[in-house]
Amino acid sequence: MRPRTLVPALFILCLFYSCQGNSPTGNGPEDKTVRSGPDCAASSPVTSIKNILLFTLDTVRQDQLGGYGHPAIKTPMLDRCIRSGYQFSDAYAESCWTIPSHASLFTSLYPRTHGAIRPHPHLDDELITIADVLTKHGFYCGAVVAASIFKAKTGFNQGFSYYDDHLIASESRPGELITEKATEFIASRRHHSFFLWVHYFDAHYPYDPPAPYDLFYCWEGLSRKGKKSFQKSRKMTVTDKAFAASNHGETNTTDLEIARALYQGEISYIDKQIEHVIRLLYREGLDKNTLVILVSDHGEYFGEDGYYYQHMVDLGQPVITIPYVFLLPDAQGHEIITEPVQLIDVLPTLIRLCGISHPQPEFHGKDLYRLLKKTRSFSQRYCYSEFHPTSEDKHYYSLVDGRTKYKQVLTSQEQQDFLYSLDQDNIEADISGQYPDKIRLYQSLLSQWKQDYDQKEATKDYQIPDELQKSLKVLGYTD
């Protein structure tokens, strides 16, 4: 394997509040028991949170945001969030594709435990989710999802009183329709506590941003050809996925730049949609007590390690590395935290912020509050990711040593272990032949992790609905 370039995704957790200099501009569901015990006593709320707004930005890469150093991309709303809070610089997703990553976010469980993986892309009823917990504690929970893989049949509607998954003759719907539904929900619930999940899918392949975002990032030579010529080139290259479907496909520089320009246009378009929703919070006076979470589930390859316009191929840094940013009421501006964190940490941290009783022993994630307050650091933490293709005997596992910045990747079918060093920019360098002792150490840690977190058996009577099977195939998630 060739060394890969870091392409992180976005993970931002923001609490909006009024603070000069820091502010960016039916019947309920079935009740589930949320268990508690000696270690699960309710904590005092850290701050007054009446509402929670969760954005998930499918396939958005962190390095494509101005707030993370991109010199040209236009993402002003996301940039304001990043510059106003606690920024985690070393964070990881639990998988490289949409369903297992979202399931880990919602349950604080690794994919091997929650089981929403191929060939079982379904969130089973017995799992306790963010919506289950918040509904039990007085939040009215709603969701507006953009892709057919999140229709209610996949189980992600658990705990939600309102779940808008209406797609007409399409596998996804554009951001402006999601924004319209989200703002309607917020306006209707502004006098009551709510949790709203808003899912944007625009940055996912194929990249087709609306005007004027389709020409935002054309380089000068291409722009002179005119929009019509550009769109023709786009259609000929980006929508032809044959070369991208095979490992180590090849493309020319012009194709790659066109695809990247369109992808960046999608991200700027999403940023504008988020701005509309957040401005509504301010108009309604909800910014003082609303916790806003923005998260991407994975990144995207643009030529790194020979992969193009895809993500569900392996566990390279381009698709599993994600950042977080927390904006808290007592924040004194931008701070960077270098401790390693994962998506599974969101639920226990959110529960601590809200002062909710929670079954902490059942979570795989950690409460990050003490990191924010600088009262605790991790003496050692290993971050684990996994990917299970359709082949039953082929699995990928990744371990990142947060202290030494070494990474081990295990491919079970070939029984191969790869060891990488990660530099200050998180770029991987293959050092597999240099440190056999480290390989043995990380092999042992991965084996212990798999024993500690048992593989969930697929529900025997579950069969993927034909509609979902079609969606997975159209979106490139199955053969």
Task: Look up residue 363 and give its DSSP letter.
Answer: -
Cα distance between residue 300 and residue 318, in whole Å: 6
Cα separation, 97 vs 370, in Å, equals: 30
Angstrom distance (rounded) from CA 343 to CA 108: 7
The residues that bridge with 163 in the sheet, in sequence order, are 143
Strand 162-164 to 140-144 pairing: parallel
Interatomic CA distance for residues 350 and 361, integer angstroms: 16
Contacts of 322 (CB under 8 A, 6+ apart): 8, 9, 10, 11, 62, 91, 92, 93, 295, 296, 298, 299, 343
Rounded to 10 degrees, the C-alpha dihedral 396/145/325/347 comes to -70
**What token pair was written down for 308?**
């193009």
Q: Crossing angle of helices 175-188/253-283, nearest 10°?
A: 10
List the domains of the chain with CATH numbers.
11-33+42-383 (3.40.720.10)
Per-residue pLDDT 10s for the chain (479 aa) are 433 333 344 444 444 443 334 455 543 444 454 433 323 434 566 667 899 999 999 998 888 888 777 899 999 998 888 888 777 888 889 999 999 999 999 999 999 999 998 767 889 989 999 999 999 999 999 999 999 999 988 899 999 999 999 886 678 999 999 999 999 999 999 899 999 999 999 999 888 899 899 888 876 655 545 455 555 555 544 444 434 444 445 566 777 888 889 999 999 999 999 999 999 998 998 888 888 888 899 999 888 888 888 899 899 888 988 767 777 765 567 888 889 989 999 999 899 988 887 766 689 999 988 887 787 788 789 999 999 887 666 789 999 998 888 999 988 766 789 999 998 777 899 999 899 999 999 999 999 999 998 776 655 455 666 666 666 666 666 65
Q: Look at residue 146 and give its three-state secondary structure.
A: coil
Specify the pairing of strand 86-92 against strand 341-342: parallel
How many angstroms separate the CA atoms of 136 and 287, rounded? 24
Q: State pTM to two decimals.
A: 0.86
